[in-house]
Amino acid sequence: MTDQIKKEALEFARKYPISHLATVENGKPVIRVMSVPRIDDDFTIWYATSGTSNKVRQIKAQPGICSLFYNEGKTLRVFARAEIVDDQAVKDELWQEDWAQYFPKGKNDPNLAIIKAIPEHADYDDLSKSDVGLFELL
Amino acid sequence: MTDQIKKEALEFARKYPISHLATVENGKPVIRVMSVPRIDDDFTIWYATSGTSNKVRQIKAQPGICSLFYNEGKTLRVFARAEIVDDQAVKDELWQEDWAQYFPKGKNDPNLAIIKAIPEHADYDDLSKSDVGLFELL
């Protein structure tokens, strides 16, 4: 059953690739809404952001993050250790055309930073399956 | 202008009274989705929850929280210091009938806990007003 629920959770996150990402600064949480260009089968989540953003500074100081996807009564939550990945091949692969408004130099923009969130724990809730309750995925 | 934006932000939060609430445990963030029975004109946010919930334990240990409302391209974010309020008059005033599924003893259920989030900082973003950008409310 876990494999089936994992599959449903991934399909859900890929259908609505918007997440709330929480980091910590000075011991207190900070949330922002971010699109998710990629989520891997093992629930590794990839984000693109500005290298000078608060979230990059926060992750470098304290890499624990929480990402939450919520829609249609479904909730996927991933607790992860985030890394800033400076790999041009990854930037090329994740690149989306509409990012050009933020990164005018494109895939090679020196301000483009990639966050890789490596999951440590994940859970999934689907209100339409209230008999299942909160499902521990990882 | 700030007063007008504050008014719009409050109207927005009251129209879509669902927030993502982040707390911190062991230095790492934890998010969950919660309905907001009340938000005051000064952006104080009130939540109802179980007294034995993780969030209550987390808030007692580290009271800094972040609440985010997101809908229709609008984002209200409140950074606050949370307190657990044990005041029957407050419970009576906030009580909603559909909470009975969680608190079978009703307004007097000993497990009903109220979180009061006292704002320290708040910002608001409305994509339809991209000329304004992120607006500092508090």
- pLDDT tens for each residue of B36-87: 999 999 999 999 999 999 999 999 999 999 999 999 999 999 999 999 999 9
Which tens digits make up the pLDDT trace of B92-123?
A: 999 999 999 999 999 999 999 999 999 999 99
Alpha carbon of residue B13 to chain centroid: 10
Instruction: Give B23's contacts in chain A (Cβ within 8 Å).
Output: 29
Q: Is A32 within 8 Å of B64 when comparing Cβ atoms?
A: no
Which tens digits make up the pLDDT trace of B42-52?
A: 999 999 999 99
Please report which confidence band the pLDDT of residue A19 belongs to, taking 50, 70 and 90 as the band edges.
Answer: very high
Please report which confidence band the pLDDT of residue B133 belongs to, taking 50, 70 and 90 as the band edges.
Answer: confident
| A32 part of contact set with chain B, CB < 8 Å | yes
DSSP state of A132: T
Q: Is A31 within 8 Å of B66 when comparing Cβ atoms?
A: yes
Instruction: Give A30's contacts in chain B (Cβ within 8 Å).
Output: 22, 29, 66, 79
Which tens digits make up the pLDDT trace of A78-114?
A: 999 999 999 999 999 999 999 999 999 999 999 999 9
Instruction: Give A77's contacts in chain B (Cβ within 8 Å).
Output: 31-32
pLDDT of amino acid B1: 66
Of A29, A33, A70, nearest to B29 by CB-CB distance is A29
Instruction: Give A75's contacts in chain B (Cβ within 8 Å).
Output: 33
Query: Dihedral through CA B25, CA A59, CA A10, CA A75, nearest 10?
Result: 40
| B24 part of contact set with chain A, CB < 8 Å | yes
| Cα B34–Cα B46–Cα B103 angle in degrees, nearest 5 | 65
| B20 part of contact set with chain A, CB < 8 Å | yes
Does the pLDDT value for residue B127 go beyond 80? yes
DSSP state of B52: T
pLDDT of amino acid B23: 98
Q: Is A66 within 8 Å of B33 when comparing Cβ atoms?
A: no
Residue A46 near residue A39, CB atoms below 8 Å: yes
Closest by alpha carbon to A68, among A59, A58, A78? Answer: A78
pLDDT of amino acid A1: 66
pLDDT of amino acid A117: 98
Percent of chain A with pLDDT over 70: 97
Residue A13 near residue A36, CB atoms below 8 Å: yes
ipTM surpasses 0.90: yes
Measured CA to CA, the distance from residue B78 to residue A29 in angstroms comes to 11
Closest by alpha carbon to B24, among A62, A44, A54? Answer: A62
* Length of chain B measured in residues: 138
Average pLDDT, chain A: 95
Residue B38 DSSP SS3? strand
Measured CA to CA, the distance from residue B24 to residue A16 in angstroms comes to 26
pLDDT of amino acid B30: 98
| B121 part of contact set with chain A, CB < 8 Å | no
Taking residue A20's Cβ as centre, other Cβ atoms within 10 Å add up to 22
Which tokens go with A9? 């959770």
Alpha carbon of residue B122 to chain centroid: 12
pLDDT of amino acid B2: 83
Does the pLDDT value for residue A134 go beyond 90? no
Of B27, B33, B64, nearest to A64 by CB-CB distance is B27
